[in-house]
Structure 1
């Protein structure tokens, strides 16, 4: 078998910022004293005159980003998800969301896979927070190819965008030569008639592997990658629910307010369907090796397989 290439989506973010910066002079990158970790140091090295380190002052950074956007620049404000979505929520809501400014928020180190940094830094609530802001686009890419495409899509979109990236290297599952990113459109990775598995971010490759194991047991799963949580691909979700009759959502995020909640909102209104939400179950994380935490909190392929099989009975 060919070797599986793994790349952290935060690396993809840094690389694509440099590429876009080479092409477009209106891009400005902001960071909150975390350029090495968020990978915006790559942009700083290439375009030092367009990189602003705002220090450990995320709330102020969002205000600076809003001001830059108001002058016609396209700022990418970067920090850990816990700080970008959590600490600076009020500034994102009032200074960026309310005036619908063209600010892109690059939030890295999201989810339980932050690992040893522990519960205070493992943000499993950011999608829920950002979904509530009117007009905010929320994107959670699954791999390097999708992450780089998402950064381009965010740049091209007029309005506020929240981009969620991870610390942990994840398998590259998309072929760059054929992959096409469409804002607000889900991607069917595998057709199936028995059950629908809808995943986002880090859990997408794990869900694909779980589907492969389910196939051995005679369960034919349809697998959908939802990279854009908001706006959601309602049409695809409803269609899949009609085809299979049962839906499972899988996310490296709280089961409250994330992908699962978004899917349930749609189905409850348009096509009531039995749904199982797999994610972080109303609890904080803990310090530990990322892969061990992914397994402990039930987001690895084996755990997903077991939960789906039990739900399918």
Structure 2
């Protein structure tokens, strides 16, 4: 993630559980590093935890687990369908397997095996998709998963979690071990601002309000949570009060928090590094269309493939920056006044 200046402006009041220097002196880290650290913790605490990979061990940060717990690590090679099927077998005999690769391959290449051998049997395999989103960068469209949230949340029994930073990914990985169901954990390659602390609350299925506001709700997941916070500062300079919600769990949604926020603010913007179809935006729109119809604007990749480029360049090209979110917020507010 490229360092950038943010306007000082009138500022916003961040929740106490966040790091205080996220705008002025941000600490950077990748979610995949958080995953690697968590796997070491889990491996030491619970002998039921196994790790499986499809020839991308270092890229998804499982090499430390492999070195420390070789008897509980399975290198399946370039055979993603086999990888998740083996993981299903391990789960069926009481293990807690984490199967990881690039998200375009796991879950992308083995969706049917995940559906049939894992979710249909409702066994607690943890699917970990790395290098997700367009900020994989130079690898280009073939390696940029922008459909994975949609494909995973469409399968019955699957829980879908998209952590916002390294620390939250660490917590999510550990928390997933205690969920007796299939879980999809999404992580990225690029370093992002570490928003949360070890003491920041995290619970799968519980969205967190990072900034209070009354004019519009910015609902974000993954790296887009930071962009939403920057957007909230920009909007504050314009006299607009934006509530920011970290919706790390896309399935099951925290319906109570989201509906209450929509009712209080009357306008919603969803923010995700994913196709606007079927991901967080789709999930929130489905919920609110039934429970609390309000104007919604979705910020995300607009049903196109990615391309090679630096992460910052791609964020701008595909309309995923804080400025794009602020623009969407103004549009959503304008729509509620019509």
Shorter chain as denominator, the TM-score bin is: over 0.9
Length-normalised TM-score, structure 2: 0.91
Length-normalised TM-score, structure 1: 0.98
Q: 1:46 deviation in Å? A: 1.4
Structure 2 counterpart SS, 1:38: coil
5+ unaligned residues in a row in structure 2: which ranges? 1-20
Q: 1:285 deviation in Å? A: 0.3
Distance, in Å, in 1 between the alignment partners of 2:122 and 2:282 is: 24
Q: 1:145 deviation in Å? A: 1.6
5+ unaligned residues in a row in structure 1: which ranges? none
The reply on whether 1:126 has 2:152 as its aligned counterpart is no
Q: Which has the higher helix share?
A: 1
Distance, in Å, in 1 between the alignment partners of 2:294 and 2:117 is: 38
Contact 2:29 2:165 in 1 (8 A): yes
* 1:198-217 map, 5 Å: 198-217=219-238
Contact 2:250 2:280 in 1 (8 A): yes
Q: Which residue of 1 aligns with 2:14?
A: none
Find the partner of 1:241 among 244, 262, 276.
262
Q: 1:309 deviation in Å? A: 2.5
Q: 1:303 deviation in Å? A: 2.3
* 1:1-313 map, 5 Å: 3-177=25-199, 179-313=200-334
Distance, in Å, in 1 between the alignment partners of 2:94 and 2:262 is: 43
In the TM superposition, structure 1's runs of 4+ consecutive aligned residues that sit over 6 Å from their partners are none
Distance, in Å, in 2 between the alignment partners of 1:71 and 1:236 is: 37
Q: 1:187 deviation in Å? A: 0.3
Contact 2:128 2:184 in 1 (8 A): yes
Distance, in Å, in 2 between the alignment partners of 1:274 and 1:303 is: 17
Structure 2 counterpart SS, 1:123: coil
Distance, in Å, in 2 between the alignment partners of 1:255 and 1:303 is: 14
Structure 2 counterpart SS, 1:120: helix
Q: 1:308 deviation in Å? A: 2.1
Q: 1:170 deviation in Å? A: 0.5
Number of equivalent positions? 312
**Cα shift readout 1:218-259 (whole Å, capped 9, x = no counterpart):** 000011010000000011111011001100000000000000
**Cα shift readout 1:113-144 (whole Å, capped 9, x = no counterpart):** 11011001101000000011101000000011
Structure 2 counterpart SS, 1:158: coil
Distance, in Å, in 1 between the alignment partners of 2:86 and 2:325 is: 42
Q: Which residue of 1 aligns with 2:17?
A: none
Contact 2:129 2:184 in 1 (8 A): yes
Distance, in Å, in 2 between the alignment partners of 1:230 and 1:312 is: 27
Q: 1:302 deviation in Å? A: 2.2
